[in-house]
Amino acid sequence: DKWDKMIKDLNSEWRKTTVELLEPYTDRCEGSFIEVKEASVVWQYRDCDHEMGKSFANVMTIDLENSLKKLNLNIINGKGYVEIKPKGINKGAFASFILKEELKKGKKPDLIVCIGDDIADEEMFKYFQKIRPKLSNFIPHVKDYLITVGKKPSNAQFYVDHSLQVKELLDGFMQIRSEE
């Protein structure tokens, strides 16, 4: 019932400035909205006209990179959103945190499956690519599958064409697991 925080004492002063920079875009792009989270601020445009939202996102990303460059933030222009967050907070860091917590508890995974469809997932893929040699030395029988949805340049080693194949793949993993 208690949340474990990856980063203690996260400075959130940058969020107010970020929201102020996003508000004019939100006012001019019908259907967009700002989401303020504990560790990030996200400008969502998934409910907008896609081309208009993407155009605003591209201009906004450049504006934010110039305006916020001294604040040590990452700006991610993803599918239907622009996310602003402190450097070091990403899915790779989260995967590292989870893996370390499990190892502290004496749990060694035998299977790691990472699936993603967006640029924000690339840090997770990079993390597992980086630790793969160390992981296989420490846990000799571990298998890892890094999978991106959609054929595109990626740090994932495999891809599936669409999300329905993700379900089929996971069902396959579960079938193999139940047969063991």
E strand residue ranges, the chain: 33-36, 41-44, 73-78, 81-86, 111-116, 143-149, 158-160
Confidence band (pLDDT; 50, 70, 90) for 7? low
Confidence band (pLDDT; 50, 70, 90) for 11? confident
Residue range 105-139, pLDDT digits in tens: 999 888 899 999 988 899 999 999 999 888 878 78
Residue range 64-104, pLDDT digits in tens: 999 999 998 999 999 899 999 998 888 999 999 999 988 89
Q: Which of 15, 20, 17 is nearest to 37 (CA)?
A: 15
Tell me, yes or no, if the pTM score tops 0.85: no
Q: How many CB atoms are closer than 10 A to CB 130?
A: 13
Phi/psi of residue 80, each to 5°? 85, 10
CB-neighbour burial class of residue 104 (10 A; exposed 0-12, middle 13-18, buried 19+): exposed
d(CA 34, CA 22): 7
* Tokens read off for 28: 């001019």
User: What's the mean pLDDT when you consider all of the chain?
Assistant: 90
Residue range 139-179, pLDDT digits in tens: 888 888 999 999 999 999 999 999 999 999 999 888 887 77
Interhelix angle for 91-104 vs 122-138, to 10°? 30
